[in-house]
Structure 1
Amino acid sequence: MRDRAQALLIDLDGVLRRWDPAPMITVELDYGLKPAALLETAMSWDIYRPAVTGEITDAEWMRLVAERLPIDGDKATEAVARWQSYRGEPDPDALAFVREVRAAGRPVGLATNATDRLRPDLDALGLTAELDVVISSWEQRVHKPAPEYFQRACELIGFEPKKVLFVDDDDRAVRGARSAGLSAYRWSGPQHLPYLRKALDLPG
């Protein structure tokens, strides 16, 4: 049996923040783009990696996305701006869990691959005060699932890896966390919250 975790690291996108696909779909329809063109272009590794490791800003990343879209330059810039104006919303189940963990005296850290837009997003979503620490790949200059990322995350939250539970919706990140010595769980929704509560030895 592993020791019970004493701290929680939780991912942002796909866990603590959820996205309605409708705004992106609307933009793609309005500008004659194929389905998922915006996201697929943005996630191209040669521009995504520098965007989440502090090599380029979020604005520079989005400019590169616009340049690669198969439409007129001004329209591409406009399409990207419209897409990016929607910043998602907190997932109520994940947020309630974060609050429960903190109420039990366990620190909660956000562990996410992100750009320099992360802090303003957290403020706009009302999440800044819900977290004890934020571990951003852009600020740390290293991204999940690198072991160095998880080492730094554990240092910042103040516990050795075996005392930290990591929750993410990405299998690669979960595997990376486990390799770094953390307990890690793949989030697919709130149905397994009872298990996560036990992993953190929460009261009740």
Structure 2
Amino acid sequence: MKILMVDVDGVLIHGRPSDGLPLFTYLERDLGLQLDVLQEAFFKTYWRDIVTGRDALEPRLAEVLGTIAPHLSARTLIDYWLENDSRLDHTLLDDLAALRAEGTQMFLATNQEHLRAGYLMEKLGLSARFDGIFYSAALGYQKPAAEFFQLATEKVGIPADEIGFIDDVEANIEAARQFGWKAKQWTSGMRLKDAIAAFST
């Protein structure tokens, strides 16, 4: 394995920094917006295009909030969103750093829109820990689409069977394996060495 691809949400990041709860747990209390209303008006309607780079987050969110929560700006909600979905798994980060020090290249492979991808790399400092990021809004496809894995493989320029991958979603693992990556589904309490050992089984 020359390269390890690492998923973000559910693997490297787990919810709110203070307690690990889902990021919108206290959305209504904190910002006066009901989550089910946001889900229906925004995520169900627009998220697929946003996360694959066909629409922009902030202007679309501003338009929706103008209808469902005129008291709330898109920038305020985005900042709240980013800050409350940033609890890093430092044990995993340390294990990844040790593997990287031995010569394995590290990339994030994740379904993200552009603003959060930038936040992950710059604000959370992951650009210092990874050699790059492959994300859905930049590639135009989201996992588990085969095109996601194809484009990421083409960009790193090595054979698919020399790429390892950890992700918490079974469908993504199956898609990666079908493309030729060595993949292991990440579960709570797992250590990196156990996932890597599974690549050879």
**TM-score normalised to structure 1 length:** 0.79
One-letter amino acid of the counterpart of residue 140, structure 2: R
Q: Paired residue for 1:172?
A: 171
Which runs of 5 or more structure 2 residues have no equivalent in the other structure? Answer: none
Change (3 A) 1:177 1:68: farther
Contact 1:9 1:167 in 2 (8 A): yes
Q: Paired residue for 1:98?
A: 96
- Judge which range, 33-42 or 121-130, deviates more: 33-42
Change (3 A) 1:67 1:143: farther
Distance (Å, rounded) in 1 between the aligned partners of 2:51 and 2:120: 15
Q: Runs of 4+ in structure 1 displaced over 3 angstroms?
A: 30-43, 75-79
Q: Superposition pairs for residues 49-198 of structure 1, below 5 Å?
A: 49-63=48-62, 66=65, 69=68, 72-75=69-72, 77=74, 80-81=77-78, 83-86=80-83, 87-117=85-115, 118-198=117-197
Distance (Å, rounded) in 1 between the aligned partners of 2:90 and 2:189: 10
3-state SS of 1:73 partner: coil
Q: C-alpha deviations, 1:165-195, integer Å up to 9, x for none?
A: 1111112211211121212111113424332
3-state SS of 1:143 partner: coil
Distance (Å, rounded) in 1 between the aligned partners of 2:67 and 2:175: 31
Which runs of 5 or more structure 1 residues have no equivalent in the other structure? Answer: none
**TM-score normalised to structure 2 length:** 0.81
- Identity of paired residues, percent? 26
The Cα shift of 1:43 comes to: 3.9
3-state SS of 1:134 partner: strand
Q: Paired residue for 1:26?
A: 26
Distance (Å, rounded) in 2 between the aligned partners of 1:81 and 1:26: 15
Distance (Å, rounded) in 1 between the aligned partners of 2:148 and 2:30: 39
